[in-house]
Amino acid sequence: MEDHINRLKLVKRQMFGRASIRETLETMLHGWIDMACPVNGPCSCFLTLSGVSGDAPAVARDMLLRSLNELKLFLAVLIARGQETGEFASRSDPDGLATYCVIVLQGVVSTARAGWGRDELCTAISEALSHLIGAGATV
What residues does each domain of the chain span? 30-133
Query: What is the CATH class of 30-133?
Result: mainly alpha
- Greatest mean pLDDT among 15-29, 37-51, 88-102, 104-118 lies in 88-102
Which of 42 and 10 is assigned the larger pLDDT? 10
Integer Cα distance of 68 and 136 in angstroms: 30
Residue 98 pLDDT grade (very low, low, confident, very high; cuts 50, 70, 90): very high
* Range 8-13, long-range pairs (CB < 8 A, 24+ positions): 8/67, 8/70, 8/71, 12/74
pLDDT of residue 76: 93
Q: pLDDT exceeding 70 applies to what percent of the chain?
A: 66
Instruction: Render pLDDT for 52-95 as a digit per residue (tens, 0 to 9).
Output: 556 667 777 777 788 888 889 989 998 999 999 888 887 889 99
Short-list 35, 30, 34, 44, CA closest to 113: 44
Residue type, 115: G
Which of 12 and 26 is assigned the larger pLDDT? 26
Integer Cα distance of 64 and 58 in angstroms: 10
Integer Cα distance of 61 and 107 in angstroms: 17
